[in-house]
Every structure is written in C-alpha cells, then in structure tokens.
Amino acid sequence: MTVVAQKFGAAHKEELEDGKVLLFSRNGIFQARFYKGDRSYIYKSLKTKKLDEARKLATKFFYETEYKKSEGLPLQQKTFAEVMREYIAHRQQQYNQTLLAKVTDSRKGQVSIHMLRQIKRVSKFLIEYCGNKAVDKIDNATIQDYIPWRKDYYHKMPTDAVPRNASLNPADMTLKWETTLLKTLLKWAHEKGYRGEKQLPKWSFSAKNKIVRPTFNVPEYVRIYKRMRKWIYETDSAERRYTRELLRDYVLILANSGMRVGEANNLKEADVEEFTDDRGRKNYMFHVKGKTGMRVVIPRTNAVRYVRRVVARNKLRNDELASGVEREVRSPKRKRTEDKSGWFFCMYDGNKIITLIDQFDAVMSSISMSANRYEQKYSLYSLRHFYAVMAIRKNLSPFLIASNMGTSVQMLQQYYGNHGPSVALATVLGG
C-alpha cells in the first residue's frame, strides 16, 4: 500500500492505493474519497478520529467499491427519497440559473416555475409510496403497484384530513403523468450511477378514460361575452373594473387562439408581435413556451381588437410605473412577492396573473352556466376546447390546428373529433 501523507495545520491528508483513494480529516473526523469516473467522486465518512483505523476502513472501502464496479452494481446505495430530493434540488438549480441569467423572455429557460411546483407536488406521493426503498430495487412491479395505491390514497384518509382541493379519484392522465415522472427520476438516477447496470423499468400506464373538459356551443359563448361586457360597469372600484376588463379580453383571446391557460399567464409583452398576413390583414403572433416546448400561436384576426385593448391598458400602466405611480390594491402584500417585468396579461398593480378562475366562475354563475347538462364544470380550459371545436367545424387542416395548439393530430382527433361535424360535412351526410 502506497502512502503519501501531508499535514496542513490540524487537518490530515494522504493518498492510499497509488493515489486512487484520498484519506483526509474534516473537523477531526476522517473521510475517504474515491474516483468513480467521469470526473466525479464518491465520498464516505469513516466515523473515526484514529488514523490507523481510518487507513484500514478507507482501504476496505476502496476494494468494496472496486468489486461493485466490476460487477455492475451501484457504487452508492441510495434510497428513492434521497434521490428524489437530489433530483428536485437539481431542477431547482436549473430554474435558479434561468433567473440569474435575467431571462426576460418566456421563450427561454429550461424549467418553468409551474413544472417545478408540479414535480414537488407529485414527489410527496412518490416518496410516501417508495421513499425508503433502495432506488436500484424499483422495478416494473413497483411502478405497476403504484396505480392502485394512488387510487386508494385519499379514500383511506379520515374525511376531515383530506385537502380541500384534492381529487379523490385521480384521472387516468394524472396517473400517467405521475408514473412518467417516476420513470424519469429512475433514468436520472441511472445516469448518476445509483442503479449500477440494472435495466430500467419499461412498464407504462395507459390512460383508458380520457376526460375531455366541457366546451361551449356558439349561443353559450355569446351569452358569456355579453355578460362580461355588462359586468364591467357593475362596479365603482377602479381595480375591480380593470380586472373585469382584463378577464373579458383574456377570455376572448384564449377562445380565439387555443392557447393554454399557463401559456397565456406567462406571456411577456416582448412575446407579442404584430404582423401583416398575405391578405393584408393586421394580426399578432404569440411566442409561447408550454408543455410541448416553444411555438408560435396565431389567433383568429377578429382577436386583433382584443389584443390592442390589452396593449393600450399595458401602455397606460407602464407610463404610470415610469412616473413612479403605484396603484392602490386590495392586497398590498402582493407587491412584495411578485415582479412587474412586462407581463402581457398583468394585474391592476402590474404583477403577473396567478389565476382568473374565481372571476370567470363568478361570471358563469351569474348566468347560471357553471356546468353543462352532464354536471361537468366549465373552466378556463374550456376556451381552448371551444377554439379546437370551432376550428374543426370550419374544416381547417387538422395539422395546422394541432400545430397552433401545441398538440398532435392524434390527440386532436381523440379529444375533439367527436364534437360534431362541420356544416359542409353535415350537408354531405344529409344526402
């Protein structure tokens, strides 16, 4: 055994096994470092202050690690919970780097805050399910058994312990997303060397029940925007009137563009670009970043006036901000928690929209249209479905519709294709 020892004050440092192991002390406790390849190391606390004992333990650690390496075993035994927390920290760091880079355009960045929150939310279920299990022991059966466990999760809780907004019966698409995250984590753990050469699980959950949010027909849509138009003038509060005007344009733009709610909320003013089409018509393009990546969304030309109303309100707000004017709001704490960096759909004080669902629900309730006749509740996402159905009925190319919405032609057909034929097709079918 080759030993090269050095002392730096009270610290001790020496190389063992021809420099393959570094033995050193930290706060009087000896530790060992072993090079595992790819410019990365494994560290182990030897939990002793005695030099001779530390040398023996470090040498033993070296040969155990060499054996694991030769047999394709994981070099470090880690629980699923440890790896999950490490993975979340990794994604958090990616998000923080985006912020440090001063990204001012929603077209940039690796991890959105919404994706990060979703990962953290789902991680609680996954850690509770298999947190103490070694990450290299998770296989196809483990993932498959997650489905019945997750379906029973809230049903086994006392009624008063169930969170207010919890879904007692998770949708198939929810289960698919959660198992996909689990498999993504295992792949990441494999790349980190935590699973050795063990084969990754291949089992996938197939969603059988595809839940399509309800959409509106044209008369219902007309009722909604007429009600929003009147609702604006039913308040004396400047803030409430602003929010109602914002909601009206927000709803009309979503219904005429097919954007997702999250994509709209993340839009910056710089992401909205005016252009003239080949027919000489003025229009706008929205550069969005959503669940399927970055794309350009082109709204119908009748949405131009709605976009211009938003632009005009933003200009007034930006002029006030430049002059140092701060609008009084009902929730002053919000000023300290959000930023005012050029959001396209912004609140009265210039901050980013969190959600407009409460205001939308109030409008729907006021016209007794909160749900359809099958008791399916309308939501802001129903506007995206309305856009898809109207586009299909106008006989637009399925490829162009899918491209504009950031989905696939297959998903378009599965979710929207059964909402009735176009007038032209109905004419042919009528004989």
Domain co-membership, 119 together with 10:
no
Residue ending a domain, choose from 49, 71, 93: 71
Contacts for 264 with CB less than 8 Å, ≥ 6 apart: 250, 253, 254, 288, 345
Q: Tell me the per-residue pLDDT of 20-51, one tens digit each, with 9 for 90 and over.
A: 788 888 888 898 887 766 677 778 788 898 88
Domain co-membership, 262 together with 284:
yes
Domain co-membership, 163 together with 305:
no
d(CA 370, CA 284): 31
Cα 350 from chain centre: 23
Mean pLDDT is lowest, of 86-95, 107-116, 248-257, 319-328, for: 107-116
Task: Provide the pLDDT confidence category of residue 260 given band limits of 50, 70 and 90.
Answer: very high
- Specify the DSSP class assigned to residue 78: -
Determine the structural domain holding residue 280 and report its residue range. 218-429
What does the pLDDT average to over 382-386?
A: 93
Structural domains of the chain, count: 3
d(CA 218, CA 389): 10
d(CA 415, CA 402): 12
Domain co-membership, 347 together with 253:
yes
Domain co-membership, 113 together with 144:
yes
- Specify the DSSP class assigned to residue 352: B
Q: What pLDDT score was predicted for residue 102? A: 53
d(CA 385, CA 398): 14
Q: Tell me the per-residue pLDDT of 273-290, one tens digit each, with 9 for 90 and over.
A: 999 999 999 999 999 987
Domain co-membership, 331 together with 350:
yes
Q: Residue 74 in contact with residue 196, Cβ under 8 Å?
A: yes
**Mean pLDDT, rounded, of the chain:** 84
d(CA 427, CA 431): 7
Is residue 207 included in any domain, yes or no? no
Helices 218-231 and 238-255: crossing angle in degrees, nearest 10, is 160
**Of 299 and 114, the one with more pLDDT:** 299
Predicted model pTM: 0.60
Reply yes or no on whether the pLDDT at 112 is more than 80.
no
Domain co-membership, 30 together with 126:
no
Q: Which of 157, 94, 83 is nearest to 127 (CA)?
A: 83
